[in-house]
Structures are given as structure tokens and as C-alpha cells.
Amino acid sequence: MAAGPMKMRASLGAGFTDVRVLMTHPMETGLRKDADGKIVPQHFIQNLTVKMNGKTVIDAQISQAVSRNPVFSFRLKGGAKGDKIEVSWLDNHGESAAIEAAVA
Amino acid sequence: MRRTALALALLAPAVWADPTPQDIQRIMQRDFHPRGQATMERVVQDGVQRVCTETHDRPPPDLAKALEADQMKTIVYPEGSLMGDWRRGEAIAQGGRGLTWNDKPGDPAGGSCYNCHELSPRELSHGTIGPSLRRFGSARGSSSEVQRYVYGKVYNAKAYNVCSQMPRLGASGTLTSAQIKDLVALLLDPASPVNE
Amino acid sequence: MRLIAFAAALFASCAASAQDVGKEIQRYRPMVAAGSPAELFELPGEELWKKPQGPKNVSLERCDLGEGPGVLKGAYAHLPRYFKDADRVMDLESRLLYCMSTLQGRSRDEATARVFGSAERPSEFELLSIYIAGESRGVRIEPGMSQPKEKATYELGRALYFHRVGAWDFSCASCHGDEGKRIRMQELPVLYKPQYARPVIASWPAYRVSTSQVITLQWRMNDCYRQMRTPEPTFGSETTVALIHFLTVTARGEPYHGPGNKR
Amino acid sequence: MNPLRRTLIAALAFAIARPLAALAAWNKEAFSAKTPGDALKGLGIGNATPSKDLQIEAPEIAENGAVVPIEIASAIAGTSALIVMIEKNPFPLTARFDFKEGALPFVKLNVKMGETSDVRVLAEAGGKYFTATKEIKVTIGGCGG
């Protein structure tokens, strides 16, 4: 399944850059059965990386306990309009996706 | 049912502007289709549904009494004790299935009681459409009269209050008499958590 | 009264009183809404709007949702309304179905084979609804009420709202009839009163967190009738459109702030 | 090819493809631990001091365990990592966030909770660990029908 769409909004907050990112991902726990009773295999994002102007500022390891279609909010120090924010993920099937946005 | 037909004749002319229940029924018969066990006769109103719709659930007292008497005749009491097992009763009260188009007719139905009532203090997630039934048994005892009242009320709530929002769980074929006896126990058995 | 107060205190530890349970749920909802993935479905919705389909291999971009062919801005906030070409009042989903048959040449059976989707695969109507509704963000809800058929549809919707039917004798008002009522934890808005209808109607269609599904008003009518133990209402039928019209007119004037977030 | 090997290859590929990116390993031992204690061992964490400067903003009652919003902020100087654990989940360790130069120790995320449970958050600062917990009750909403 090709990685579904991602959406991100990066905006200047009070003394920090507020980054809100949405990702399409089933985050399957491996405990769920589908309509005809078959176990749906584990399929979830494991790594999340947030970069500001090319430099990694947050490295995250997450699990299947994160809700489906994950939504994260982060706060980066300082930041100015036009700074480049990039968020990328890698899941346990080796699939990945990334999104870039300029600070509004 | 003769009494209901008479009643409807009185009410019908009063309602002109809005579509009448008969208009609604014709439109629903066109706009709905059967699915699973949910067949088309369910869109045909019976006398209780018709009168409660036309009077916005406030029928004239004498008409209400007459309809309640009709409904009382539908209640079938089983032989012997009316108290089942409150533990099974709790499971029935928790269950919400039954009579929908994706319920298999053979599967046991639930009473959906927690949707509208507070019962056991341990269940946080309870509704408030119906009165709280906390300590129902400890407040009223569990004499055969009270058992008979609770059994009848669950079987056909409209026999006691014709426009009640409580479904006619026995008369509609949702619950078996054994299941209703278990609910009687859930409400009246001193050991039941409802009566803590 | 003292005994009851004591009993209540006794159980306070394991069962928060109903009031603060309700209060806590009030805090839960905005926190969930702030992080709603509903927006994720606007992108695929837009792709579907532009995707040529059907025997005529045409996209829906020329579909007239009431503001002119292809005009999306504010279209959702002005539905349901009367359409002269079809000579009836339509909501968004029945109007989309109309465009699928007239513009794309698709048969009703093919277009309505899967009107309600799943978390894995939302239906066309669900994705299109999220995208088109998103184009009405901030626009004041003003469904059509000037045409005779619009008024008649409103009256029909109101009558249906109070019509008791089905194996459990319910009407919409059985659950959505009195203030402060709950089914389990779910507060039940009194939808025939404007102040309660406005915030609710302004948030549909929505993303339902418990099932990760996109849900629309046609789905809502369908699922309510399922729980009323009636047979199934036909997708886009006059009954469903009349109810949606009645609810939307009751919510008139509220700025649309969907697509929203549901339990 | 078994999933583990494929994941490792992918992780390496990811790293090689982006040489500058830190090798984003995934702590399999800690994430597959079935008890909070084993998860802490997997993370190499001994004891952690309770701290009021570690705030957890979350609802006391979640109407649904599928999406429970949790907001975490650390006012402890030098916080470099935040770790989220849901004690009663089948696998308690839920997420670990490492904050490099340029990021504030703050995160908001939605998590799944199997049942009412304590959410435990740990903060790493200057080689020491601090902790805070909050109980979230999970009920079943809706008509149960």
C-alpha cells in the first residue's frame, strides 16, 4: 500500500515554531482481525524524524500503541518565516514518506 | 384495536399543515427496502405508535388508559418463579444487539438497558434517558407482586405508560422470557450489584 | 437524604458522579478534535473530484452543487437546496450521485454499490464529502428555504423527526428529544432546537476516532434507522434528504467549521 | 525474508540513503517488553525521581480508547528525551522522543489505551531520569448497539 498523504502546518508560536503533522497510516497492532476473521499483520511507523533547515532536531521511536492516522505536535526553538521544516517516517515494512513545509 | 381506530378518527382532522402519519407511512414504504431481518411491515405504525406520534407522546388520559389495557393483554407470564440469575441479567443489560438488520435472527439479543439506565454502580458508562434503577430492589423488596410488575414492564413497557420511550422488549420478540427473568433478578435480587 | 449522600460518597471512589464524568468528557472532545486527521482525506477527495470516470470518462469538475458548475466555495454550506434540473431538493450526496449519472453516465447501481466505506477504503461519497465540505469552512450555513419544494421538504423532515416507527417504537426525538439526556456516555443534542443543532450540523461530515472512518450525514441517517430497528432507508431518498434538510435549516446561520471529529 | 531482517535492511538503507541522518534504530527489546519494569530495563533506565516539572495534560476520562490525546511538556533544565509508557497496555512502552539542539522538550500525540491505566512519562536530563504519572479512565461510549 503506497504511503497515504501527509499534511503539515508549521507556524510561529510564542517564542517557538509550532509544528503540527498528520500522517496516513493504519498503525496495525497485529491483534486485530479483518472482516473475514484473518489477523491483520503488524504494520506501524517505527521512526519519525523532524528536521529544521536540514538539521535533525527530533528523532522519535514510536510503536503500534500510537493511534491510527497519527497526529503529532512539536515545538522547535526560535525559527523564522521561511525556515524549512521536514518530517519523515519509516515503518516496520520498510515503507517511508516525508513532507516539507516552510514556516508560515 | 377498535378503540384505537375510533381514537384516530377524532385526531386526524386536527392536523392539516404537516404531512400526516399516513403520508409519512406512504413515503417510507417508497423510500425504505428490507434488509436482513428488518422487513417492511416495520414501517407500518401500530395504534400505539400512531397515537403517540399524533399527540407528541401526550395522549388524552382516557385514550391512554384504553391503549394501556390493550397492551397489558399482550404480556405472557411464564410458569413458576419470575427471578432468574442476576449475573446473566448484567450481561443482557450490557448487550446492545437485537433485531437490527445486521443482527442474525438466531443470535441472543441484549436489553440495551445501560444505554438508558444507571444500574450497577460499577458501570460508569450508563445513559440517562430512563430513570436510575440504582437500589431498585432494596427500595421495593422482591415480593411476587414486584417481580410481576418488573417482568411485565420489561415485557411491554407501554402497558404501564403507553407513550414510554422504552421498547416493548418481550412483545417485540427481542428478549426471551428466560432473559427477562434474569433482568428481574438483576433488579430485585439482594445479591445483585444494583442493590448494593 | 443523609443515607443517600453517604452511599454516594461511598461509591465516589470507584464511580465518579455523573456530572464530573460528563464534564471530563467535555475536556476530552476538544483535545481530540485539535488533532483530527479529517484533513488527511481532503487530498484524496480532491483527486476523486478531478478523476475522469464512467462510460463518458468525465470528471465531476463540471458538477453544479448549486453555486454554478464546478463552484465549490461555500457550496456545501448552502445545501440541501432545490435543483431545477432534477426538480427536487438534494443534499450533497444525492447531488453527487445525480452528477455521477448525468455527467459521467454511471448507472445508479454501479455508483451506489459501496456508498459507505471502511477505515481501509473510504467510499467515493465519503472522500468527496470531506473535500467539498472543507471548501465551505467559515461560510455561514444557509440551506435553501425560498422554494415551495424546499419548505415542503423541511415540513416532511420535521414530521419524520417525531414519527415513531420500527420494532422499538422510536422516533429521532426518542433520543434527541430532551435536554441533558445521554445514551451511555454519549450526550444527545436536542436537534430540533437551533442552539443545539448549530454546533452539531456545522461539524458534519466527520472523522470518527473510534473506527478511523469518515462518516457523512447519509451514513448518519442510515445508521440511526438501523438502530431504530426499521428496514434500510435508500441512499439519497427523499426521507433522508428531508431529515438532513430539517436539521440543516434548524442549524441555519452557524458558520460551518467542519469537517469535524466524532467519538 | 522475515520481517525483522527486512526492517533492519530498510533501516540501514534509510540511514545510508541519508548519511547525515542519525541511525534511526528502533529499540525492539524495550518496545516488546510486556511489563513497565522490563521496558525500563530495555531502555537502560534505573530509578527515576518523581518531578512536578514534568507536566502531563490529558483527559481524566477518555470516551474511547482508540484515540487518547496526551500532551507532555518538561520544565526540567536540560531535558533531552521524553518517554511515554501506558502501564496496562500489552506492550507498555509507547514512544520515545529524543530532542536535539533546536527542539523544545514538548510533544502532543494520540495513543491507544486498552483499558483504564496510569500513563507514565519519563524525562532524561543530564544523565538523570525524572518521572510523572496520570491515570486516564477509558469508558466505552456510544450506544453499544
Nearest CA distance, C93 vs chain B (angstrom): 16
pTM of the model: 0.84
Contacts of B131 in chain C (CB under 8 A): none
Closest in D63, D71, D108 to C28, CB measured? D63
d(CA C97, CA C82): 15
B40 with B94, same domain: the answer is: no
pLDDT in tens, D91-121: 999 999 999 999 999 999 999 998 999 999 9
Is the model's pLDDT at D56 over the cut of 90? yes
B178 with B93, same domain: the answer is: yes
B93 with B156, same domain: the answer is: yes
Considering chain C, what percentage of its residues have pLDDT values greater than 90? 79
Give the chain A residue nearest D113 (alpha carbons): A65
Contacts of D136 in chain B (CB under 8 A): none
Residue-level pLDDT at A3: 64
C-alpha distances out from residue C23 to B134, C26, D53, D68, Å: 22, 5, 26, 16
- Average pLDDT (C158-185) is 96
In a domain, B151, yes or no: yes
Whether residues A24 and C40 touch (CB distance < 8 A) is answered with yes
Is the model's pLDDT at C12 over the cut of 50? no
Is the model's pLDDT at B37 over the cut of 90? yes
CATH code at position B154: 1.10.760.10
pLDDT band of residue D7 (cuts 50, 70, 90) is low
Nearest CA distance, B51 vs chain C (angstrom): 9
pLDDT band of residue B185 (cuts 50, 70, 90) is very high
C-alpha distances out from residue C248 to C66, C134, C254, Å: 16, 17, 10
Report the complex ipTM.
0.80
Helix (H, G, I), strand (E, B) or coil at C254: coil
B90 with B178, same domain: the answer is: yes
Range of the domain at B55: 2-59
Whether residues A72 and D89 touch (CB distance < 8 A) is answered with no
Long-range contacts of B7-13 (CB under 8 A, 24+ apart): B7/B47, B7/B51, B7/B59, B7/B63, B7/B66, B7/B67, B8/B47, B8/B50, B8/B51, B8/B54, B11/B51, B11/B54, B11/B55, B12/B54
pLDDT in tens, C225-251: 999 999 999 999 999 999 999 999 999
Closest by CA to C83, choosing from C216, C229, C236, is: C236
Please determine, looking at this structure, whether the domain spanning D32-138 carries the CATH number 3.30.460.40. Answer: no
Give the chain C residue nearest A26 (alpha carbons): C120
pLDDT band of residue C261 (cuts 50, 70, 90) is confident
Q: Where are the beta strands (DSSP E) in D33-127?
A: 49-50, 54-57, 61-62, 68-74, 79-86, 93-99, 103-111, 117-125
What grid cell was written down for C177? 428529544
Selected catalytic residue, list C14, C63, C99, C224: C224
Residue-level pLDDT at C173: 98
Whether residues A68 and C43 touch (CB distance < 8 A) is answered with no
Domain count, chain B: 2
pLDDT in tens, B132-165: 999 999 999 999 999 999 999 999 999 999 999 9
Architecture of domain C34-262 in CATH?
Orthogonal Bundle (1.10)
Helix (H, G, I), strand (E, B) or coil at C228: coil
Chains touching D (at least 3 CB pairs under 8 A) are A, B, C
d(CA D87, CA D103): 27
In a domain, B77, yes or no: no
- Taking the domains of chain D in order of start, what are their residue ranges? 32-138
What grid cell was written down for B51? 397515537
Give the β-pairing of D128-138 and D117-125. antiparallel
DSSP run (H or E) holding C121: none
User: Could you give all domains of chain A from N- to C-terminal order, each with its CATH number?
Assistant: 6-102 (2.60.40.10)
Query: What angle, 0 to 180 degrees and rounded to 10, lies between the N-to-C axes of helices C148-161 and C238-250?
Result: 90
As averages over each run of 10 residues, the pLDDT of chain A (104 residues) reads 78 91 94 88 96 96 96 93 95 95 92
B117 with B186, same domain: the answer is: yes
B107 with B184, same domain: the answer is: yes
pLDDT in tens, A1-14: 456 789 999 999 88
pLDDT in tens, C123-164: 999 999 999 999 999 999 999 999 999 999 999 999 999 999
Active site residue C63: no
pLDDT in tens, B110-139: 999 999 999 999 998 899 999 999 999 999
- Taking the domains of chain C in order of start, what are their residue ranges? 34-262
Query: Which has more pLDDT, B2 or D57?
Result: D57
* Contact (Cβ atoms closer than 8 angstroms) between residue C97 and residue C112: yes
In a domain, B74, yes or no: no
In a domain, B190, yes or no: yes
Contacts of D61 in chain B (CB under 8 A): 124
B11 with B99, same domain: the answer is: no
d(CA A98, CA A89): 6
